[in-house]
Amino acid sequence: MAAERETTWPQVLAWRMRRQLLDPVGQVDAPDVVRHLCGVQAQVPAAAALAIGVRQADPVPGAVDRALADGLLMRTWAMRGTLHLLSPDEAGAYLALMAAGRSWEKGSWVKAFGVAPDEMVELTEAVAEILDDQVLTREDLVAELGTRLDRPDLEAELRSGWGAVFKPVAWQGVLCHGPASGNRVTFARPDRLLPGWTGLPEPEEAARAVVPAYLRAYGPATIERFDAWLTRGTSRKGMLRSWFAVLGDDLVTVDVEGTSAYLLAEDVDELAGTAPTAAVRLLPAFDQYVLGPGTAATEILASERRAEVSRAAGWISPVVIAAGRVAGVWDRDGREIDVRLFDDADGGDGNGGPPAGALDAAIERMRDVVSALDPG
């Protein structure tokens, strides 16, 4: 691995905004945005559509739904156990790393959800058989499983919108969300639903794809930062280190104002040549710019402001980004947008918060995106 190079946080944040299609905004379609971001969290579909739309010069209404219907995107439980939009030909690598930790075999998981490891094997096999030639609503799939497994005590957990017991099945590539049935969730097998599905590679092969993809969007980053994004910091440390080690000289370490972190060797010169940005952007709830490094990343979010962004029940607030840092939060009622800047916000020039003109332009841009995605 090559020797450390030095860079600054303003350079890093400007580089991340470029890589995440925020400055400048991208000329790409919805699946390409998802690829750039290593997936888009989709617990709230409207927020996912906005996260994609703000990164497009010309957002198109219904683009995410059409990409899902055409098999160009899939929706499944992935990083941190949350629902994500992923590209089918890349999803297997992300899921393989989620599955590698075998979290459902840990005593704490078994105690919480009441499914022993051998029972999870049986459940996974049953799901694969049931969905072999059909797409089912959650209710119908649970009913079929109840008949096959003779475990009525599992039904309440399986019917839960949080899907805790279904998540390990998804991580093993056996289940994903299917086409909506009215307002009801459906499940399908990805290998039956998605022509672009490529299956789950071995974890080492998956790491060769996922670690570089993460670093291209959210680097430079430590191993711990990567794990916080992947599993909320619960992966085995030796396993994590091996995933980075397989990349060898493709990785370098860089010093970012005293923090040593990994970056792809091919990106070092581009990062070194990146000038700090003064760009101001409004980003929706659960945006990947925040979720990629995580709300504990003080380079983008001051620790004393974390509670204003990472809210109760896992809610991540819509944010104002100025010079790459979270400078405030916002909300909207229809097309009316209410911004609350933090008192200590920095616009990047050392003179307080973002310039009024730039903030007004960012608000207008969000209004335009909302109008484009919901013309009615």
Question: Same structural domain for residues 48 and 188?
Answer: yes
Q: Which of 252, 272, 292 is the last residue of a domain?
A: 272
Strand duo 74-77 + 186-188: pairing: unpaired
Q: Given this model, what pLDDT does residue 338 score?
A: 97
Question: Same structural domain for residues 33 and 181?
Answer: yes
Q: Given this model, what pLDDT does residue 162 score?
A: 66
Q: Is the distance from CB of 340 to CB of 328 less than 8 angstroms?
A: yes
Question: Same structural domain for residues 6 and 37?
Answer: no
- Domain for residue 98, yes or no? yes
Question: Same structural domain for residues 86 and 210?
Answer: no
Q: Which of 240, 272, 304 is the last residue of a domain?
A: 272
Write out pLDDT tens, residues 70-116.
Answer: 999 999 999 999 999 999 999 999 999 999 999 999 999 999 988 89
The parent domain of residue 317 ranges over 280-373
Q: Which of 146, 162, 193 is the last residue of a domain?
A: 193
DSSP 331-351: EEETTEEEEEE-TT---SSSS
- CA separation for the pair 241, 175 (Å, rounded): 29
Q: Given this model, what pLDDT does residue 285 score?
A: 98
- Domain for residue 199, yes or no? no
Element (H, E) at 2: strand 2-7
Question: Same structural domain for residues 76 and 110?
Answer: yes
Task: Tell which residue, 108, 112, 82, 101, has the closest CA to residue 229.
Answer: 82
Question: Same structural domain for residues 28 and 172?
Answer: yes
The fraction of the chain above a pLDDT of 70, given in percent, is 97
Q: Into how many domains does the chain fold?
A: 3
Q: Given this model, what pLDDT does residue 183 score?
A: 86
Question: Same structural domain for residues 238 and 325?
Answer: no
Which residue positions in the chain have pLDDT lower than 50? 1
Question: Same structural domain for residues 7 and 85?
Answer: no
- Domain for residue 198, yes or no? no
Q: Given this model, what pLDDT does residue 207 score?
A: 98
Write out pLDDT tens, residues 285-329.
Answer: 999 999 999 999 999 999 999 999 999 989 999 999 999 999 999
Task: Tell which residue, 349, 353, 364, has the closest CA to residue 327.
Answer: 353
Question: Same structural domain for residues 100 and 46?
Answer: yes
Question: Same structural domain for residues 348 and 324?
Answer: yes
- CA separation for the pair 276, 82 (Å, rounded): 32
In a 13 Å sphere around the CA of 167, the CA atoms on its Cβ side amount to 26
Sheet with 136-137, strands from edge to edge, namely 136-137, 186-188, 176-177
- Domain for residue 200, yes or no? no
- Domain for residue 253, yes or no? yes
- Domain for residue 303, yes or no? yes
Question: Same structural domain for residues 251 and 284?
Answer: no
Q: Given this model, what pLDDT does residue 350 score?
A: 56
- Domain for residue 359, yes or no? yes
Q: Given this model, what pLDDT does residue 351 score?
A: 58
Question: Same structural domain for residues 69 and 122?
Answer: yes
- CA separation for the pair 218, 86 (Å, rounded): 17
The structure tokens listed for 17 are: 């905004």
